[in-house]
């Protein structure tokens, strides 16, 4: 039986986390266009099929690394296809979307 290598299971705490610019703009779009001040994070989460903590993370200034499955659930429950979401995202942020990332200390 092969020996399991545990060296990479738990990354060290001193590494920085990378938030890609596209994740930031995905979250900023959802926050600015689909969330409103009268609606709580709990209510948004309930209506869009995600956990309340996800709704709070979306509101972060630099967003977070939003999984595609989470984005798909939000889009589905908002009544829009993911492909149409990215068209809206591109029309709003255009050339700001690239492969860059923001380093965030853990």
Phi, psi (rounded to 5 degrees) for 103 = -90, 130
Instruction: State yes or no: pLDDT of 8 exceeds 60.
Output: no
At residue 5, the pLDDT reads 47
At residue 55, the pLDDT reads 96
At residue 14, the pLDDT reads 57
DSSP 94: G
Average of pLDDT values for 39-59?
96
Share of the chain above pLDDT 70, in %: 86
Phi, psi (rounded to 5 degrees) for 88 = -65, -40
Half-sphere exposure in the Cβ direction for 40 (13 Å, CA): 6
Does residue 16 sit in helix, strand or coil?
A: strand
Mean pLDDT for the chain overall: 86
Quick check: 65 and 20 in contact, CB under 8 A? yes
pLDDT digit string (tens) for 54-78? Answer: 999 999 988 899 999 999 999 999 9
pLDDT digit string (tens) for 75-106? Answer: 999 999 999 999 999 999 988 888 887 787 76
């Amino acid at each position: 039986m092969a020996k399991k290598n545990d060296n990479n299971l738990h990354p060290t705490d001193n590494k920085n986390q990378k938030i890609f610019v596209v994740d930031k703009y995905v979250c900023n779009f959802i926050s600015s266009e689909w969330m409103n001040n009268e609606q709580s994070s709990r209510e948004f989460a309930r209506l869009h099929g995600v956990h309340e903590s996800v709704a709070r993370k979306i509101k972060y200034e630099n967003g977070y690394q939003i999984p595609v499955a989470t984005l798909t659930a939000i889009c589905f429950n908002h009544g829009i296809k993911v492909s149409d979401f990215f068209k809206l995202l591109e029309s709003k942020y255009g050339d700001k979307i690239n492969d860059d990332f923001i380093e965030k200390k853990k």
